[in-house]
Structure 1
């Protein structure tokens, strides 16, 4: 899979979901260009299709796919975790994560990197512990279910607090953070604008529900040549000043700007 480097490891700008009940779409999804592809056994699969979807998904785990299992504590989750014995998903997504104990329950069943999904008030309350739980590589904000839990809309303002808490929790834990997919596939302008907003907040990527969303999301999360050049100049000026305060283009360069420049270069493996 593609991706970019953060702290020396591959990070996901985009994650594309594909229904576990549609194995005919697995190969197409894998070739769509997303940094990660996740076969979904939860929301995208009707109750009477869980067993068949699970079997198709486990068979397809060939190093290209992650897997979203069903919520911990459900009968479907027990079947999913039992089926993971010996399987090799790239990662496992944990929906409805409400505590670090939910993460630990999945970790006991497999050793793949874990991606809990915070999508409730209870999950947000435990976000610091969830993000820092052993085995967690990143967190996905499940904004649609979160909004339903609170009885609010998915507009920017009602979800701003949750996004702020999650960016802080994931930054503290040193893990990635992906935002909820943009649900209006036809509105590319708003996809780009909202993705720019979440990037500015500290999100590292975004989930996608259609291949057409991947390129716009990548364009936002991939540093431009101008941003890369600026970051290099900032670090060069800082080094030339012996690690102290420096001036660049008449502006003072201090440690916060140094950290921002290093993050930019980490995205391209140049820091």
Structure 2
């Protein structure tokens, strides 16, 4: 097996979207709910939610998750299916990669935890990539060392994007799990990823009964520049999809900005009493390109 620095083109043409839901792989009774949720990406977890003695069981059931017949009842497109494996620097992580490489139906997305070097992503690509299948590889950034080396990690040509792991980061640092305590880490993750042209997804909100708190944190994450956010229960996915989808007001404003750009010949102008110029034009074009499918 040779490691390569060549850029990759994932087989799944759809790009991982805004809402990610993760389900413990041994809990097969939860698969249908996760896959029928409003999530864009559905992952079976064989890492933190699985006891050491149950790792092989989790690999087997994760394969069933990826191959599960959803008999889809909700509207919208099928989510991309994937797995959160164990860290590739562990025996379980290496066993996970070998297992995934042998599945009949391959995972669309592989989330790699405890990433602290670009080499972790390269190893996963070397094991999983074939002539007929190339999964989306995303790094879970959840340690201070990962944050310190993030520029090198996001520069890896095999990497599709990053997910912030708040729980492990806060536990390692000994800080709070609240928004203010993790603001520096979140800002660093989203800024460094953007500098490399890579999207970033925010950590889940762990209070299952506080949907108002979920909405507030998701709105903060969106304002900070995150593409989306993780969910740990299907009822969270609907809220997240609503928050991260462009609102009609945002779309209307973007169209007004583009119209003003045309009218001004690309010069400084005004929209709704706000002075706007090139950065505003660029943001409006990006939003409309997404909305209009261009």
Counterpart residue number, 2:18: 13
Matched, 1:260 2:283: yes
Counterpart residue number, 1:245: 268
- Given that 2:19 and 2:41 are in contact with CA atoms closer than 8 Å, whether structure 1 keeps it comes out as yes
Q: Note the alpha carbon deviations across 1:111-144, whole angstroms, 9 max, x for none.
A: 3111100000011111122222122222110001
Query: How far does residue 42 in structure 1 lie from its aligned partner after superposition?
Result: 0.2
Counterpart residue number, 2:146: 123
Counterpart residue number, 2:9: none
- SS in structure 2 at match of 1:18: strand
Query: How far does residue 22 in structure 1 lie from its aligned partner after superposition?
Result: 1.5
> Quick one: distance in 1 between partners of 2:220 and 2:65?
35
Choose from 243, 249, 254 the match for 1:226: 249
Counterpart residue number, 2:123: 105
> Quick one: distance in 2 between partners of 1:259 and 1:126?
30
- Given that 1:204 and 1:221 are in contact with CA atoms closer than 8 Å, whether structure 2 keeps it comes out as yes
Deviates more, 1:110-119 or 1:251-260: 251-260
Inter-CA distance 64–263: structure 2 relative to 1 (3 Å threshold): closer
> TM-score with structure 2 length normalisation?
0.85
Deviates more, 1:79-88 or 1:246-255: 246-255
Counterpart residue number, 1:96: 114
- SS in structure 1 at match of 2:23: strand
- SS in structure 2 at match of 1:158: coil
Query: How far does residue 64 in structure 1 lie from its aligned partner after superposition?
Result: 4.7
Query: How far does residue 86 in structure 1 lie from its aligned partner after superposition?
Result: 4.4
Q: Which runs of 5+ in 2 are unaligned?
A: 1-12, 68-78, 129-133
> Quick one: distance in 2 between partners of 1:249 and 1:16?
38
Deviates more, 1:126-135 or 1:217-226: 126-135
- Given that 1:37 and 1:65 are in contact with CA atoms closer than 8 Å, whether structure 2 keeps it comes out as yes
- SS in structure 1 at match of 2:180: helix
Q: Which runs of 5+ in 1 are unaligned?
A: 1-7
- Given that 2:266 and 2:278 are in contact with CA atoms closer than 8 Å, whether structure 1 keeps it comes out as no
Q: How does 1:1-271 map to 2 (within 5 A)?
A: 10-62=15-67, 64-87=80-103, 88-110=106-128, 111-270=134-293
Count of residue pairs brought into register by the alignment: 264
Inter-CA distance 151–246: structure 2 relative to 1 (3 Å threshold): same
Query: How far does residue 168 in structure 1 lie from its aligned partner after superposition?
Result: 0.9
RMSD: 1.8
> Quick one: distance in 2 between partners of 1:120 and 1:249?
43
Query: How far does residue 23 in structure 1 lie from its aligned partner after superposition?
Result: 2.1
> Quick one: distance in 2 between partners of 1:34 and 1:268?
18
> Quick one: distance in 2 between partners of 1:18 and 1:252?
46
Q: Note the alpha carbon deviations across 1:80-117, whole angstroms, 9 max, x for none.
A: 11112244111100000011111111111113111100
Query: How far does residue 228 in structure 1 lie from its aligned partner after superposition?
Result: 0.3
- SS in structure 1 at match of 2:121: helix
